[in-house]
Amino acid sequence: MATSVQSIGIDAMAVGYQTGSDVIFEQFDLPPSNQRQLGVPHPTGTTIPLALRPCQSQTEDINLDDVITTIKGLQSHNKLLTKKLALHGTLLFRGLPIRNADDFSRFAHAFGFKPHEIIGIVVDRPVLAPNIAPANKAPKEVLIHSHNESPQVPHAPEYIFLYGHKAPLKGGETPMSSSLELFQRVQDEIPEFIAELTEKGILSRITYKKEPQFSGGSTLKEAFGKTIVDGDDLASRRSKIEAQIARYGRGIHTTWEWLDNDEGIIVTHRLPVIRTQPGTNLPTMFTGFASLYTRKNVTEQLYGDGTPIPEKYLKRLVAITEEIRVLHRWEQGDVLIYDNIIAQHGRQPWEGEENDRVVMASLFDGDEVPGAYGDADWATVVQALEG
């Protein structure tokens, strides 16, 4: 495997050198199934992922404290790693002394992002360390198609950290692809689909009850009930839940309907699929269409006006996504970081035992949310309100 060495942060970390605690990262190449050059609109020669490891001369000596000092230094210098994420979509860190959930938590927090508060979706995962939970717990046979995280709710994380604690011998790869490139390909091949999405957006309709509505789903209390206490009557429970829903800041574009007999609630969002990347204003396709398409027997995909999205478009979208993705073959200790606005992830099935693959996840918010594409007011998402 050819190795191209290009150190990053040498200029940025001049001060750090004086302390002697710097780790110097170098870029390296992965096999073609695991890394590719991104297409338009990415600058020529931009790879996904950008793969980084400590300089080979350093690997004997590094410890996690030094890694954290270095990451903080790089981020304090003009958010260097945040910028790399916005360019490549995904970064891989390999060869770092990260061996458990606590190490991973400390590493992830060094980037300076704000932990993401999950509102309105699955929270049924144990907390393993601060802001660390197991990644998707679906059984090993289940293929999770590429998606941006949380496209079905208005408050999505901006950065996703995944840590490979244990890698299976066969399968279990994590796909990565660019949503900017996906937009461009879909625009070129099925412009009428982009036009429809731009004009209408989508409807996301989620039912919450006392019991989860599918394996891994969240209950109404988990999704919106964090301020509810024992003894609250029906009226105060409802007003507390409505106050949480209001935190999305969607105004008339989020509506809800209480079910009879205190059974639950159906929440409907009109949301944009096409958003724009802060800083560049490039259009990005922010979607879980491919993963939802394979569950189409349970989830119908609707445009924002309530009409169904033609299956032929979804099918083509899945095919394009597979053409532009690579599959990350995990090595123990790897950390992948996704810029969720412009990159998609998923999960391949694996052979062997369920616990042959252990991947942990950590979600963070960014300083900015994606911008609107077009000027419809439903196309604007906002940062969740405090509360």
Smaller CB separation from Fe ion, 149 or 365: 149
Smaller CB separation from Fe ion, 22 or 149: 149
Smaller CB separation from Fe ion, 53 or 155: 155
Site for Fe ion in 80-119 (CB under 5 A): none
Smaller CB separation from Fe ion, 149 or 334: 149
Smaller CB separation from Fe ion, 149 or 196: 149
Min dist CB 236 to Fe ion, Å, is 34
Site for Fe ion in 184-213 (CB under 5 A): none
Beta strands per DSSP E along 69-121: 90-93, 114-115
Which range binds Fe ion by CB under 5 A, 118-126, 144-152, 185-193, 318-326? 144-152
Give the count of beta carbons closer than 10 Å to the beta carbon of residue 11.
9
Min dist CB 149 to Fe ion, Å, is 5
Q: Binding residues for Fe ion, how many (CB under 5 A)?
A: 1
Contact 152, 267 (CB under 8 A): no
Whole-angstrom distance, CA of residue 329 vs CA of residue 170:
9
The verdict on 149 binding Fe ion (CB under 5 A) reads yes
* Per-residue exposure over 311-323, b if at least 16 CB sit within 10 Å of its own CB, e if not: eebbebbbebbee
DSSP string, 182-220: HHHHHHHH-HHHHHHHHHH-EEEEEEEESS-SSTT---H
Min dist CB 188 to Fe ion, Å, is 27
The verdict on 158 binding Fe ion (CB under 5 A) reads no
245: its two tokens? 């829903």
E strand or H helix at 68:
helix 64-76
Smaller CB separation from Fe ion, 26 or 149: 149
The verdict on 339 binding Fe ion (CB under 5 A) reads no
From the list 51, 58, 48, 72, the residue with the least C-alpha distance to 23 is 58
279: its two tokens? 């800083």
Helix (H, G, I), strand (E, B), or coil: what is residue 330?
coil
339: its two tokens? 């810029």
292: its two tokens? 């939802």
CB neighbours of 19 closer than 8 A, spacing ≥ 6?
Answer: 69
Which range binds Fe ion by CB under 5 A, 71-79, 142-150, 207-215, 238-246? 142-150
372: its two tokens? 């609107």
Min dist CB 206 to Fe ion, Å, is 16
E strand or H helix at 71:
helix 64-76
Smaller CB separation from Fe ion, 157 or 272: 157
Which range binds Fe ion by CB under 5 A, 123-131, 141-149, 180-188, 369-377? 141-149
Min dist CB 94 to Fe ion, Å, is 22
Min dist CB 71 to Fe ion, Å, is 24
Which range binds Fe ion by CB under 5 A, 10-18, 149-157, 210-218, 296-304? 149-157
Smaller CB separation from Fe ion, 149 or 158: 149
CB neighbours of 61 closer than 8 A, spacing ≥ 6?
Answer: none
Min dist CB 108 to Fe ion, Å, is 16
Q: Which residue is nearest to Fe ion (CB)?
A: 149
Question: Using CB under 5 A as the criterion, which residues of the chain lie in contact with Fe ion when the complex forms?
Answer: 149
